[in-house]
Amino acid sequence: MSTTLPWMQAWDLVAKSCVYLDREAYPDYLGLLDDDYQYSITCYSPDLRKDMIHLKVNKEELADLVGNIHNHIRLSGSLFRQVSLYSLEQREASYDAMSYVSVTHTNLDGVSKVFCVGRYFDRIAVRNGEVRLKSREFRMETRDIGAGCHYPI
Amino acid sequence: MGRSETAWQTPPKLPKEDFISNLVYADPEIFALEMERVKKATWKFACHESEVPEPFDFRRVNHAGMPLVVVRGDDGAIRCFINACSHRAALVVREPSGNGRQFTCLFHHWTYNTRGDCIGIPREEAYKPVGLGKESLGLREVRCETRLGLVFVNLNDRAPGLDEYLNGALENLVPVMGDPEQPLEVFSYHKTVVPTNWKNWHETNMDPYHEFLHYINRRVAMRGDGYHERSWKIYPGGHATLSPMRQKYEHIKGWRPRDNKPMPGIMADEFRTVKIFPDTNIIARSTVMRIDTSTPISPGETLVELRGLGIKGESAEDRAMRVKHHNQFWGPFGRNLYEDAHAAECVSEVNIGGGGSYSILARHEGQKTQDDVLLRTYYQEWSRLMGRPAQNPKAEGAA
């Protein structure tokens, strides 16, 4: 693996993104994102034998989405994202990072259960020495997440 | 002031159609009975024909606790079978979907073709002394008919035919789903077990009074012109349609009107819905469609299946637009799904625990949008099939 982006700098970015999402600190999360950021949640359906897109938004749409969470009845409790960065590879002017993700949901009674597992496929840009997320695809292995949720994983 | 135990358990002083006992949601004996008298006696939406587009394509489904497999045969006909080997009742098809010219049971390798014929029994000669042979050991075929691409099945060979059952309730979908030049296809499939009774789930589809629950609906639908003035059309058998309206998608920050490439036969921004008794709901939201249906697991658990549909063969750009519009409301990350599921869960938690006594279906608004007429009709049909009144569902023969 050859890269000029230090592993720890990429890891720090991915980890921060998870910590901010866990805390629902969305302004901080949005601060990690490039202006042309694209976010998606995808999975393969063995029922349809097709790939499916469950959510696909740009930065502005994502900001609108999280900015409206308080208006909705939403999944209560908290999500904890446990992430391991598995690979980091240079791709022209950016870097591709792949992380394994396990998300645990803790409900209001304090019961924790696996909510979903999958992988982050992140593209990372380096601008003036600072790293930003250019895109993230959360590729889910899990297909049944119960009643669902309407915020990013 | 609160009500005493006696007052709480006393039926409301309402016409009998205007309330039901909450035992219909929670009582195990009633649940078992409605599997026989309602679920197994009625036509069930199983899947869309686009899920088995090619000869030998198959798709597993469930109905009333029964594992089924829908198969497109070598002759192009769609058939349905109970997914059980004639030998020892093991699942014959284990994958959710696929393509196969024959199905071989993993247990003893009995083999069937896509028409349900048994075509292979290892060392068959050992059955000859008792007169058994392949010719009498086909899969159990289930009645299966397709209308507008919707594949329906019925476990009861003596039930009325599908057209008699539907009574014309699909008429509003003919322009949308019946155009041979623009066939539809499923692009999204999502299933989940919701901790609620199957009727509680379907009530979220039959009861627009609940739309105050949804932030999106409050802005997009209820601020639209004529929201409260729409009329329910009730069909014999408990099916219904609600007259269409144009909704205001631009009332959500960042959303735009759905005025580009609506589904066939649909106006820009139009909302159209059809309810098929007892468990299926079809919605068109201008540019995209959703079908949801449910399979009961227990009084307090329901498998909910949701499908999103676009136009087969459309451009990648058009499909992306429909997927986006679908996901704004529906799918596991849609902004409405959690709200409906959680509301149904909240009702069920009370009823399963015995905390609910009666549900009130007493809104009368001239059969307009938030009139409870569909809920009343639904439980009248339920009572007729059950042979028990929904107001007192433990009373056999009193419907």
- Rounded Cα–Cα distance for residues B258 and B285 (Å): 8
The answer to whether the pTM exceeds 0.90 is yes
Q: Is B384 exposed, middle or buried (0-12, 13-18, 19+ CB in 10 A)?
A: middle
How do A130-140 and A33-45 pair as beta strands?
A: parallel
Q: Give the contacts of B84 (CB within 8 A, at least 6 positions apart).
A: B67, B90, B91, B92, B139, B140
B37 near B385, Cβ under 8 Å? yes
Residue B278: asked if its preceding bond is cis (omega within 30°), the reply is: yes
| Residue A16: DSSP 8-state | H
- Rounded Cα–Cα distance for residues A139 and A143 (Å): 10
Residue matched to tokens 């609940």: B210
What radius of gyration, in Å, describes the C-alpha atoms of chain A?
Answer: 16
Structural domains in chain A, CATH included, are: 7-140 (3.10.450.50)
User: What pLDDT, on a 0 to 100 scale, did the predictor assign at position A127?
Assistant: 83
> Coil, strand, or helix at residue B127?
helix
For CA atoms B369, B371, B373, B374, give the dihedral sign. Answer: positive
Among chain B residues, the shortest Cα distance to A152 is held by B333
- Rounded Cα–Cα distance for residues A12 and A97 (Å): 12
Residue B95 touches chain A, beta carbons under 8 Å: yes
**Nearest CA of chain B to the CA of A4: how many Å?**
36
**A47 and B59: CB-CB below 8 Å?**
yes
CA nearest neighbour of B118 among B156, B155, B144, B92: B92
- pLDDT tens for each residue of B209-267: 999 999 999 999 998 889 999 999 999 999 999 999 999 999 999 999 999 999 999 99
CA nearest neighbour of A64 among B316, B215, B218: B215
A53 chain-B contacts, CB cut-off 8 A: 323, 327
Chain-centre distance for alpha carbon B250: 30
Residue B256 touches chain A, beta carbons under 8 Å: no
Q: Which of B255, B333, B345, B346 to mutate to test the interface with A (most CBs of A within 10 A)?
A: B333
H or E stretch at B201: helix B198-206
- pLDDT tens for each residue of A23-73: 999 999 999 999 999 999 999 999 999 999 999 999 999 999 999 999 999
Q: Please state, rounded to an integer, the average pLDDT across all residues of chain B.
A: 96
User: What pLDDT, on a 0 to 100 scale, did the predictor assign at position B398?
Assistant: 64
Neighbours of B361 (CB within 10 A): 24
- pLDDT tens for each residue of A73-101: 999 999 999 999 999 999 988 999 999 99
- Rounded Cα–Cα distance for residues A17 and B265 (Å): 44
- Quickly state the pLDDT bin for A1 (edges 50, 70, 90): very low
